[in-house]
Amino acid sequence: MTREISDIIMRKLAKHYGDVAPDLKYLDIYQLSVAVVLSAQTTDVQVNRVTPELFSRYPDFAALSAAKIRDVEKIVRSTGFYRNKAKNIVNLARRVTTDHGGKLPATRGKLMSLPGIGRKSANVILSVGFGIPALAVDTHIIRIAGRLGYTGSANPLTVEKAMVSFIPESMLTYAHLALIKHGRALCRARKPLCASCPVTGECCFDGKFS
């Protein structure tokens, strides 16, 4: 990979997909942070099904911090691992309320100290919620990074560092959203739609076809 090739890839993805937005539905940083925690090991579609009721009953960190975990479990049950997720989001709300004056912190380290938030989730919240450049790496991005030649590693942190070294800071949030869309739409794990791919010319994938 070179910076020139990476720039070509980003330009082609931008031309193909245009503006992209997160699939998670949220109105503010509170809703985004809770939705991100709930999105672990499930689909954004499933999270979007439960959050309207959740946010209606608990509209902010203070309200959620006072919730009974068993009540929250009933709402988020369909997202999977619901006991752990309910405990995480309630405890997250409690920590934000007691330790941060009710405001979600805007640094990676402080976000990662909160229940249910790892590096990927922190990067999503930073980039999408606070507008702070960061690249959140999920399974789609790991797969695409390998196929496009950014890195052969499957380690999320290694992938993040490799891609950040080639993608301009100003493009990181867009790259995250566009690559996820690309992974879902065309660059699938099985039977990728290479003939329709806008970056097939830059792809190193052994199984590609055109």
| DSSP notation for 142-208 | HHHHHHHTS-S---HHHHHHHHHTTS-GGGHHHHHHHHHHHHHHTS-SSS--GGG-TTGGG---TT-
Residue 184 reports pLDDT greater than 80: yes
pTM, two decimals, is 0.90
| DSSP notation for 19-35 | S---SS--SSHHHHHHH
Residue 209 reports pLDDT greater than 70: no
Residue 15 is among the residues annotated as catalytic for this protein: no
User: Which residue ranges form the domains of the chain, and what is each CATH number?
Assistant: 3-20+135-202 (1.10.1670.10), 29-129 (1.10.340.30)
Choosing from 7, 23, 44, 138, the catalytic residue is 138
Distances (CA, A) of 28 to 34, 35, 128, 129, 140: 10, 11, 11, 8, 26
Residue 138 is among the residues annotated as catalytic for this protein: yes
pLDDT tens sequence across 143-178: 999 999 999 999 999 999 999 999 999 999 999 999
pLDDT tens sequence across 37-95: 999 989 999 999 999 999 999 999 999 999 999 999 999 999 999 999 999 999 999 99
Task: Yes or no: say if 195 and 187 are a contact pair by the CB < 8 Å rule.
Answer: no
